[in-house]
Amino acid sequence: MPREPDPDWIIQRRRVIGDRVRRGREYADLTQEQLAHRTGIPRLTVQRIESGATDARIGWLLRIARDLDVPLRSLLGD
């Protein structure tokens, strides 16, 4: 059975989280490839998280937050 599309508010929140990941990565002066290598997350997945195209698994966000040396809440917000 196909899954229903995510509502707009979820898509918007994913984009906000992705923007925070991207800004944190850029602040750390890392490329997507470098962040991917350091966290063990595929580069395409990092790209999809940053664009809000995928639901970021909590494990991925934990790895990213640890590598960027930021609290997880700074990526998630509210």
Q: Please write the tens of the pLDDT for every residue from 21-40.
A: 999 999 999 999 999 999 99
Confidence at residue 21, expressed as pLDDT on a 0 to 100 scale: 98
- φ, ψ of residue 48 to 5 degrees: the values are -70, -35
Q: What is the pTM of this model?
A: 0.92
Q: Is the pLDDT of residue 2 over 90?
A: no
Q: State the pLDDT at residue 68.
A: 98
